[in-house]
Amino acid sequence: MKKYTYLVAVLASFCVAIKASANAADSVALKAKQDEHLAVYRTAIQYNDMSTAAMSLVSYLNSNGAKNYSDSLAVVYYNMNNFAGAYKLANESYVKDNKNVTALSLLAEISGQTNDAKTSLEWYEKLCPLNPLPYNYYQLATKQFSLERKLECRQSLTKVLADTAAAAKQKVSLQVGQGYSESVPVLAATYNMLGVLAFKENNLAEAKQQYTAALKSFPDFVIAKQNLDAMNKPAVTQKKPAGKTK
């Protein structure tokens, strides 16, 4: 009986050892597969191959990869113009962590690009305190402007001007005309918007000053030049100032 009990114990220990060894082998194989997916993703990003990057990340996440790569997949989807997929992933990340700057940036940007100014405004209001870049405050200002919240718009633009060095380096895309846009420094775009606000308030002297500042900051600024030229024409031919963010 003692021999039988001993034999059972030995067999049980042997089975446990085999199972542990198999689990370790599976873990090594899974890690190798995950590393392979990430290697393909990184190479794809280097060559701007967004489709391959997306497929690699999906495979990585499906193989129990680190969940923070969901943000990377959302960014890839955004760059592929898959706004619905990017928004869904970003919103899932935000629900898990309401201070996730990447998720908030995507949610704010995508809402703005789909012309949902109110929702975009709400996202930027959450994003700006966490990531107070001049670009973010400028985008917040554009949403406030479109919703006729002029005082708040001025306050946001003032925050942009609190860091003129960074605002001069960051870029924003503005619509010039049908199907045409220009990329300008956030600093120049801010001066132009301040000019538009002043023009709407019939403060023509300030409007000219702000448009001039915009052109001084960025001499090739088509919209600011159009606005300033319009002001220099007879009053009957003055046009509504431009400055809408794409």
Which one-letter amino acid corresponds to residue 211? Answer: Y
Q: From 240, 209, 236, select the one nearest 223 (Cα to Cα).
A: 240
CA distance 164 to 170: 10
- Is the whole model's pTM more than 0.75, yes or no? yes
> What pLDDT digit, counting tens, does each position of 149-199 carry?
999 999 999 999 999 999 999 999 999 887 789 999 999 999 999 999 999
**Angle between the N-to-C axes of helices 134-146 and 186-200, in degrees from 0 to 180, rounded to the nearest 10:** 30
Share of the chain above pLDDT 70, in %: 85
Can you tell me whether residue 182 is helix, strand or coil?
strand
Q: What φ, ψ does residue 66 adopt, rounded to 5°?
A: -60, 130
Band of pLDDT at residue 145, cut at 50, 70 and 90: very high
The full set of domain ranges for the chain reads 31-66, 74-125, 132-246
CA distance 184 to 172: 6
Q: Is it the case that residue 136 has pLDDT exceeding 90?
A: yes
pLDDT for the residue numbered 11: 47
Length of the chain: 246
Q: Which CATH class, in words, describes the domain spanning 132-246?
A: mainly alpha
- Identify whether the C-beta of residue 96 lies closer than 8 Å to the C-beta of residue 71: no
pLDDT, greater one: 2 or 54: 54
pLDDT for the residue numbered 19: 53
pLDDT for the residue numbered 232: 87
Band of pLDDT at residue 214, cut at 50, 70 and 90: very high
- Identify whether the C-beta of residue 191 lies closer than 8 Å to the C-beta of residue 206: no
Residues 106, 152, 216, CA angle at the centre, nearest 5°? 80
Give me 220's structure tokens: 């090739």
Question: The dihedral of CA 137, 140, 146, 151: what is its sign?
Answer: negative
